[in-house]
Amino acid sequence: MTPAGPDDVPVEFVQALRSLRAVSVRPEVLLDEVPGPARIAPFSAALTAEVRTARRSVAAAELASGRFVVLYDPAGQEAWDGRFRLVTLVRATLEPEVGADPLLAEVAWTWFLDALASVGLEAHAAGGTVTRVLSQSFGALEVRAEQTELEIRASWTAADDDLRDHLRAWETLLCTAAGLPPLPEGVVPLGPRH
């Protein structure tokens, strides 16, 4: 959060943050709270995530990573068409044949739209980019395999302070980019044990 002080935090922003804490994520997704960006909005908060083959294991491979940012301006912003703006970043390493697909960017943007639709959300005032980076090593590093990295950046406006479904959509996007199959209908991920 980037408020001036605890008494200055609007109730609507506090309720939005509480709604995020109510979300249980898949066991492969590791969330951490980090400081939100300053100067973009009067109030902000952020989460980072890693999608791993096993939760909290040193030997687990990272399949995808990302950032979920909540921006809040009590006065609203014209470009956002609202008071809450959500900004996401998803990064994943892809198989070379997937990374070479000329339709990859369009497919990855569809993952974003489908993730929102999967929880009943519309991509209100949405915008973003999909970037593909191909890394090929030479010389002493020539033994490394060719690698393709995908980066999806997207932002959209939330209608109100209940951000649970927005976080669920981001989790779905992360897991899709990581290559994880969707959870079967009716299966709910278990939250942390207390």
DSSP strand pairing (82-94 vs 127-135): unpaired
pLDDT band at 191 (very low <50, low <70, confident <90, very high): very low
* Residue 192 belongs to some domain of the structure: no
pLDDT score recorded for residue 193: 38
* Residue 6 belongs to some domain of the structure: no
Report the candidate in 87, 80, 105, 106 with the shortest Cα–Cα distance to residue 44.
Answer: 87
* Residue 5 belongs to some domain of the structure: no
Q: Provide CB contacts within 8 A for 16, sequence distance 6+.
A: 70, 72, 84, 158, 161, 162, 163
* Residue 127 belongs to some domain of the structure: yes
* Residue 31 belongs to some domain of the structure: yes
- Domain count of the fold of the chain: 1
For 158-175, how does the pLDDT look when each residue is reduced to its tens digit (9 = 90+)?
999 999 999 999 999 999
pLDDT score recorded for residue 183: 66
Q: Which range of residues forms the domain containing residue 106?
A: 11-178
* Residue 32 belongs to some domain of the structure: yes
